[in-house]
Amino acid sequence: MSRVFVSAPIPQSALDILSQAGLTVESYDGDGLITKSELLQHVANIDALITPLSTQVDQDVIDAAPQLKLIANYGAGFNNIDTAYAKSKGIPVTNTPKVSTTSTAEVTTGLIIALAHRIVEGDQLMRTKGFAGWSPLFFLGHELAGKTLGIIGMGQIGQAVAKRLAAFDMRVIYTQRHPLPAATEASMHASYGTLDEVLAQSDILTIHCPLTPDTHHLLGAAAFKQMKNSAMLINAARGPVIDEAALLTALQQGELAGAALDVYESEPNVDDGFKALSNVILTPHVGNATVEARDAMAAIVANNAVRVASGEQPLYIVNP
């Protein structure tokens, strides 16, 4: 009988799928995130590991699980797993792509609107000292219409963001390795540019590229100097794409007008310097934190474990 270890709480629907398929399921029920030592204790006799992005699955963990036939990551990202080593051991690693697109695009859009119109800042004001009344020059933000939205990474999430913000009459410019087909660009009123062009032209810059060795610290001090002083930066992708120390300095020195961060370089830790800035919005990695997205992710990881237990190929292998 196939044994599955789930290293963090996930929706009950996933556990139901596993149990109904006759798999033996053990779930971590400790406080907080599972530690490496705890993970090592649980993987010795398992056939499949279901794990979230917050759990590191390195060579030690893989070596401690000689029967392991699947690592199913509960998330679209998979930089927490040593995929190359897993491949060398013949272990497929899967993720949960596509199902996070709508939620992450909506969160990104919300952060953009909130930052431009100072909504969070206004909420904080009203919860503290309040205001004296409506005044023509009081608490001004910026409209999105007519502004340029820059997108780094025009995959499914980037395209979903572009479609939503194009409806706000924003001009969209994007960069990635290769341009999209002309018809796809036209449907989003988007145009392709180099990274330098996107940095220089963007009024709002949002990141939707994966974290790879090439994109680690893609945006640092030099990039921020290329951007407009009035520009705002959004990151709902992966924290280490940004050099956070350089971003904090740029914000403190007025090189950027604001930022909204849903992910962090040393997550879950956040530099206190960001917390002190009123022009920064900080959210706790909630890009795909919806019932709909998390249930869909649960179905993918559970069904992949069932497929492997049945001798079938899992879906969404990231280390083929």
Catalytic positions, written as ranges: 238, 267, 285
Judged by phi (left if over 0) then psi (alpha if -120 to 50, else beta), residue 254 lies in left
Structural contact between residues 166 and 172, judged by C-beta atoms closer than 8 angstroms: yes
Nearest to 150 by CA among 222, 210, 206, 106: 206
Where do the H-state alpha helices sit in the chain?
12-20, 36-42, 59-63, 83-88, 101-116, 119-127, 156-166, 182-188, 195-201, 221-226, 244-252, 272-275, 291-309
* 81 CB-near residues (< 8 Å, 6+ apart): 51, 56, 57, 71, 73, 93
Tell me the C-alpha distance between 24 and 15, whole Å: 10
Backbone φ and ψ of 126, nearest 5°:
-70, -25
Task: State how far the Cα of 315 lies from the Cα of 308, in Å rounded to an integer.
Answer: 10
Question: What is the DSSP code (8-state) at residue 33?
Answer: S
Q: 35, 41 in Cβ contact below 8 A?
A: no
| Amino acid at site 1 | M
